[in-house]
A and B are shown apart, each in its own frame.
Chain A
Amino acid sequence: MLALHLFALFSLTETFADLTLALKIFVLLSIISFVWNHLGNTPFSIVIILGVSWFVLFDYWKFFGGIYLLYVLLTMGISGILVDFFFVSQMGGGGEAKPVDSAVDLAIRQQQLQRAKQMHAAQARPRRMMR
């Protein structure tokens, strides 16, 4: 049983490491194509690629990995999904009152109004008596 757990854990960490490596290769591709587009395929661009790759892929990978993932997701349109999600679930808080959209709503509102009037009248009666 312990061996099974260890195997599953090892497999998970191995999978995570493999996916991280694939992500690093995609980031390297982005860096190479960005530098080549701006500077062309010259010795100077190779120096720049090496420097930027070292900085992004090794020194600050935890930061740039997250940034690149966010960049890819935003490029694919994850923000639209988030807008839809918050719009549908109305998690922005409060919001406007629901408009009357059926006869049942109208009847409920009239009942509430009637009840409020009755309560107001019942509260006003003792005051008149006091006078």
Chain B
Amino acid sequence: MNSRGFLIIFIIVAFVVLAMLPPIIMKLFPPADLLMRLILTVMIFATVRGHLGSNALTIIISAVLIYLLVIKHPYITASLYVFFYVLLLFNFLSVIVWGLGTRVGHHS
């Protein structure tokens, strides 16, 4: 395999590791788990309230989403939230791609 193939694999592996970090940290440190659940709850409620305003429907839809995403599948939601909502929105993934491209692409 040439250096381009290695680079693509390195980038994919780096993305997978980044996506797996939040569940691992949540599993290892219970306070981080609680904090992440709180952040997810607030974010979901704020998102729904931003769409619908303050009324009864907001509370019902928020409750359903919080049950599904925060209580039932917290690790998947935390992983998706950190990967897409934090790293992607603040362009940190571009830094990873650029860093790996300058390091791995030139040396392998």
Given A15-B76, A18-B72, A89-B105 contact (CB < 8 Å): yes
Chain B residues whose C-beta falls within 8 Å of the C-beta of A29 in the assembled complex: 47-48, 51-52, 61
What interface size band does chain B fall in? 20 to 34
Complex contact B97–A81 (CB within 8 A): yes
How long is the Cα–Cα vector from A77 to B93 in the complex, in angstroms?
10
Interface check B20, CB cutoff 8 A: no
Complex contact B94–A80 (CB within 8 A): yes
Residues 71-108 (chain B) with a chain A CB within 8 angstroms: 72-73, 76, 84-85, 88-89, 91, 93-94, 97-98, 100-101, 105
How long is the Cα–Cα vector from A78 to B51 in the complex, in angstroms?
23
Complex contact B88–A77 (CB within 8 A): yes
Of B65, B72, B88, B93, the residue contacting A25 (CB under 8 A) is B65
Q: Interface on chain A toward B: helix, strand, loop, or mixed SS?
A: helix
Binding site for A on B (CB under 8 A): 4, 7-8, 11, 47-48, 51-52, 61, 64-65, 68-69, 72-73, 76, 84-85, 88-89, 91, 93-94, 97-98, 100-101, 105
Binding site for B on A (CB under 8 A): 15, 18-19, 21-22, 25-26, 28-30, 32-33, 36, 73, 76-78, 80-81, 84-85, 87-91
